[in-house]
Chains A and B, each alone.
Chain A
């Protein structure tokens, strides 16, 4: 399992995820994003969403992955806590688990979308890191 973190931006929030594989880094970044909206430890993985998308450019794919998760969560009224991503060439298969918002859940702030600002996906010393600014 990868690790996630945040970096500075004046108006919005920088998120990052790192892991042994690119997919693991993307999954960790998804944790960073959804931890802005809620407390992940309070969310039960009761419902699963699956989706596919295609993209050749790995940096665009990272932004598409995050934005697709935002869409899936918003359209189904879910708070997500678990993420999984598989890649075969330019085809990506994503899964997310969570539950509907409850009254007593900790509320953070809504993420409107992942941006192309400070976007990078790179591997250094065997560790993948993916990062970008998200608009809140």
Chain B
């Protein structure tokens, strides 16, 4: 990206027409020009409040850039956009702390990896062991992770540490197509494919001792991170409403610079229906990660008796959520689109669990399978409607990555570095090569410098089940 076209607001914030891009000169310069084009397009949508923004991990998406954040006010003609949420609605990360040390993981590497690979359905063509009826799926769409816990998948304490306490209000299953429901019946408790993973990680550096203590993080302790979303149901809702909202936008006279920004006024019938369907998918994603957390817990106990796994936090990064934010000294009810961006509530936010009141919300930046991940904490004064980076962010296309890396060689190379990868897809492994991503250390540092969130701990990967 030609950074000379942007006005420098600070070392980590750059402004253009209606938009702010967060990140250092180094990261912004490496971004594709399309990121700028896409976020400028987002800034032109009706009812935008403040600026459209990109996080330091932003990259070229479809319609919205990945790493895009935009707030809209329903009362001022604000829109809701299917393209602003994405196909994998409520994709996110469940982070679980364990009572195990790195030596415990080292001494059980292969049996633990093999057992997780057997118990967690992962990759294209894989189904879960749970088969729901359409009626039961309706309950999941309304009750989310609460349904999962009440059905025996997990512990009630888990819900305290899941966004919305595991269940978002406003789900309207009647706005979800029969195709979307049918696609989900055999997909509960599955990881999916692409950049989805289940990873066992070791805390190897602590940056903020107080927040780390609040989050239960200790150097040398093992964590589990599960990255996945709303599976087939969410994908189909994205598919259904992309076309429906694109047609609605045309009918309602909304001039869109890119059809992928398919949207409708929040207060229109189409907007109401998409919001209800999207909330149904959020609950599916929360339930799905709850089931996967339960399967992981059971697997750990079977391989390492005495294992104790507790949910640290569960946060989504492809959503549109109704939140209250102060804008120009006035509290406003806004619809915050975060596409490839994580919510990052500050300390003392009423929606945070008691345990995290002083520290702020745990924010998880999932890295690539070879470089590590970060846990951060939400800050007061966040300039992006309490949002932060969600991952390392791709630096290279999948096509380029396939040309450059061979899946088998990459897995062998990582094994020599002590990282065990289990996957059914060599193509997927090559596409997800660590070198295809941005420098996650830089992303985390820029996230902190821009006051989007502050670094708490760095995690290094040990075992990765790739979708």
Contacts and interface: CB of A to CB of B under 8 A. Distances in A.
A33 interface: no
A58 interface: no
B239 A109 contact: no
A11 B125 contact: no
Contacts of B192: 110
A112 interface: yes
A115 B81 CA distance: 14
Nearest to A76: B182
Interface in A45-63: 60, 63
B124 A108 contact: yes
A6 B402 CA distance: 12
Interface size class of A (residues with CB under 8 A): 35 or more
Contacts of B262: 116
A74 B232 contact: yes
Interface in B39-97: 59-63, 66, 83, 86-88
B260 A117 contact: yes
Nearest to B262: A116
Given A107-B428, A116-B259, A136-B194, A75 B60 contact: no
B219 interface: no
Interface string A98-118: 000100011111101111110
B123 A110 contact: yes
Nearest to B88: A112
B465 to A, nearest CB: 14
Interface stretch (B281-289, B305-313, B344-352, B391-399): B391-399
B390 to A, nearest CB: 12
A64 interface: yes
B62 A10 contact: no
Contacts of B60: 9-11
Given A109-B398, A109-B425, A116-B259, 7 more contacts: A9-B398, A10-B59, A63-B242, A75-B183, A101-B126, A106-B427, A136-B193
A105 to B, nearest CB: 7
B235 interface: yes
Q: Which of B66, B83, B186, B260: most chain A CB closer than 10 A?
A: B260
Interface string B230-264: 00100110110011001100000000001110100
Contacts of B398: 9, 11-13, 109, 136
B32 interface: yes
B63 A116 contact: yes
Contacts of B156: none
A105 B186 CA distance: 20
Nearest to A133: B62
Contacts of A114: 239
Contact of B394 (A11, A107, A117, A135): A11
B345 to A, nearest CB: 26
Interface string A110-128: 1011111101000000000
Contacts of B260: 115-117
Contact of B259 (A10, A74, A119, A135): A119
B242 A116 contact: yes
Interface in A25-70: 37-38, 60, 63-64, 67, 70
B396 to A, nearest CB: 8
A22 interface: no
Contacts of B325: none
B125 A101 contact: yes
Given A11-B394, A75-B182, A107 B425 contact: yes
A115 B399 contact: no
Most buried by B among A7, A70, A105, A110: A110
B424 interface: yes
B133 interface: no
Contacts of B431: 109
B427 A109 contact: yes
A37 B182 CA distance: 20
Contacts of A10: 32, 34, 59-61, 66, 394, 396-397
18 contacts: A10-B60, A11-B59, A11-B61, A37-B124, A60-B247, A63-B242, A71-B179, A75-B182, A108-B124, A109-B427, A110-B192, A110-B467, A112-B238, A113-B87, A115-B83, A117-B61, A117-B62, A135-B238
A110 B194 contact: yes
A130 interface: no
Interface string B409-446: 00000000000000011011001000000000000000
A109 B183 contact: no
Contacts of A136: 193-194, 398
B428 A71 contact: no
A108 B123 CA distance: 8
Closest 4 CB pairs of A and B: A101-B125, A110-B193, A117-B62, A10-B60
Contact of A109 (B61, B83, B88, B124): B124
Given A10-B34, A109-B124, A117 B428 contact: no
B10 interface: no
A79 B183 CA distance: 15
Interface in A1-27: 6-13
Contact of B125 (A13, A105, A117): A105
Contacts of A112: 87-88, 194, 235, 238
